Structure 1
Amino acid sequence: MEALSTGLLYYVLILARVAGLIFTTPIFNSQAVGYRSQMVIALMLSFVLYPIVANHLNTPPQTMGPFILEIISQVFMGTIMGFMIQLLFAAFQLAGEFFSLQMGISFSEVLDPQAQVSIPVMGTLKNLIGTLLFLAVPFEIDGVYAPAYLHLVRAVAYSFVAVPTIIIDGQTSGGLLNYMDESFGVMFLTALRIGIPMMGILFISSVMLGIMGRAAPQLNLMNMGIQINITVGLLVMITVLPVIVPLMRDSFASMYDVLGEMFDTWPKARPGAANAG
């Protein structure tokens, strides 16, 4: 009975970190998925991870107060991971808003099914491409060829090995802020790399329209500027999409590298005689 009780405590700690991740990761935390489905996913994923990671966990506290604090710290770690993935999808949306602004269609908005807010149509398109990449398009990290969501599961499993118990002190806070800064840097760099081809070509198009409008005012090109920008933008979008998709895919690998660095440098607690029983 004691072994069963200890095993249940291990499972609750694993579930706390996994639930923190599921409830903050884009796609999984969408209103379209629903809280019940999110909880079922968290329960099933925790069940799958239990035999893999339980032996790496420290012995769980046997009293209520410390155990609740341990649960909160596990939820905190899962939330950090989910937030970093959110930053990546925010980068895709930001790149789409760059597109919309340059094309002159930033005023046209549609409802984002994940966030349940209205965003420019190109931002929604980039989010949908990111969702497809996350769920269906495999790529290689550390010799493993799998879609991004499976790499995320691997990252969760590795987090239990590298950081079984969460220590939060001055050193941790400073390091966490550094990795948050690095994550924001990855986000803006990703948005810029995705958006620059469209922004550059549409900027040149606008300059050429201005020059032609000055050189031949009778053509009245300025009144046709929006239509021309939209047409050029769509043509450029079709042309650069084969380049943009690999950039978006590689950004997942970059974010997972940041997560791995964070796990490796997180202060380690003194290991206990952990055993899943």
Structure 2
Amino acid sequence: MSLLALTDTQISTWVATFMLPMFRIGAVLMTMPVFGTTLLPRRIRLYFTLAITFLVAPGLPPMPAVNALSLGGLLLIAEQIIIGALFGLALQLFFQAFVIAGQIVSTQMGMGFASMVDPANGVSAAVIGQFLTMLVTLLFLGMNGHLVVFEVLIESFTTLPVGSALLVNHFWEIAGKLGWVLGAALLLVLPAITALLVVNIAFGVMTRAAPQLNIFSIGFPMTLVLGLVIFWVSLGDILNQYQPLAVEALQLLRDLAQAR
């Protein structure tokens, strides 16, 4: 009675078939918004990584047969982690544009002190920034943005094969595209900033016209109330502001993956 004999090449091929894609997929799930937040336990993210890997691995291009404990295997693992982390970073920048926009509006209307611990990132953030983050998260999931991310991720194994190091050649080009976040945040809050600036100018004129008027006791609550009204009015156009930024973020993701 003979036992099943497996060679080192066969074992290395099987390990590489599942291990290398798993690190790229896991890096994306650990760093991208929604799935990469502290609200989702690491064990659940690991289960998602294993499930997605076992589902997509049979349809992926052939992986190089390497020894997982060799230097070449460790370099391939590091390459997959870097590629996945860059994908997650591109999506994080999209979400952070709305966080920065909320911080700017909060400061202008006098709600910069109204901050609380963000459960998703574990840091202190303005309340309006957290509100925009939750709103964008619901829009992102409602419009199946996560499915587009997974589609680009799976396609990246064809456009960025394991061991090709194609991403390194375009690193500086990719880094130059990541500076649109601050500009996007400013465009989001430009109408609210302009309206609040007019309000502050009006209070300045009132102070000059009536010096005996206590501008601090009147101006602060009025600026706060008017700022909330302006923010509420600006939410009516949030979808038109979200769509071009989401398209640009997903296009950046496709550029990273060199996908179609």
TM-score, scaled to structure 2: 0.87
Residues 204-254 of structure 1 deviation map (CA, whole Å, 9 limit, x = unaligned):
111111112222345544431111111111111111112123322331221
**1:110 touches 1:119 (CA, 8 Å); kept in 2?**
yes
**2:194 is the alignment partner of 1:188:** no
Gaps of 5+ in 2: 1-5
The SS at the match of 1:23 is helix
Distance 1:253 1:47, change over 3 A: farther
Task: Name which structure has the greater RCO, CA cutoff 8 Å, separation 6+.
Answer: 1
* Deviation (angstroms), 1:39: 0.3
Report how many residues are paired: 251
Identity rate, percent? 24
Q: Which of residues 74, 78, 101 is equivalent to 2:84?
A: 78
In structure 2, the residue matched to 1:124 is: 130
Residues 84-139 of structure 1 deviation map (CA, whole Å, 9 limit, x = unaligned):
1111222111100001110111012111111111111111111111221222x21x
**1:205 touches 1:229 (CA, 8 Å); kept in 2?**
yes
Q: Find the aligned partners of 1:60 and 1:252 in 2 and give their Cα distance.
A: 38
In structure 1, the residue matched to 2:65 is: 60
* Deviation (angstroms), 1:40: 0.7
In structure 2, the residue matched to 1:29 is: 36
In structure 2, the residue matched to 1:9 is: 16
Distance 1:106 1:59, change over 3 A: same
The SS at the match of 2:31 is coil
Residues 8-43 of structure 1 deviation map (CA, whole Å, 9 limit, x = unaligned):
421111111000111111222222211101101111
Q: Find the aligned partners of 1:113 and 1:245 in 2 and give their Cα distance.
A: 25
The amino acid of 1:60's aligned partner reads A
The SS at the match of 2:84 is helix
**1:183 touches 1:255 (CA, 8 Å); kept in 2?**
no
In structure 2, the residue matched to 1:203 is: 197
Distance 1:225 1:164, change over 3 A: same
Distance 1:63 1:128, change over 3 A: closer
In structure 1, the residue matched to 2:221 is: 227
Distance 1:261 1:31, change over 3 A: closer
For residues 36-115 of structure 1, the aligned pairs below 5 Å read: 36-52=43-59, 54=60, 56-62=61-67, 64-65=69-70, 66-115=72-121
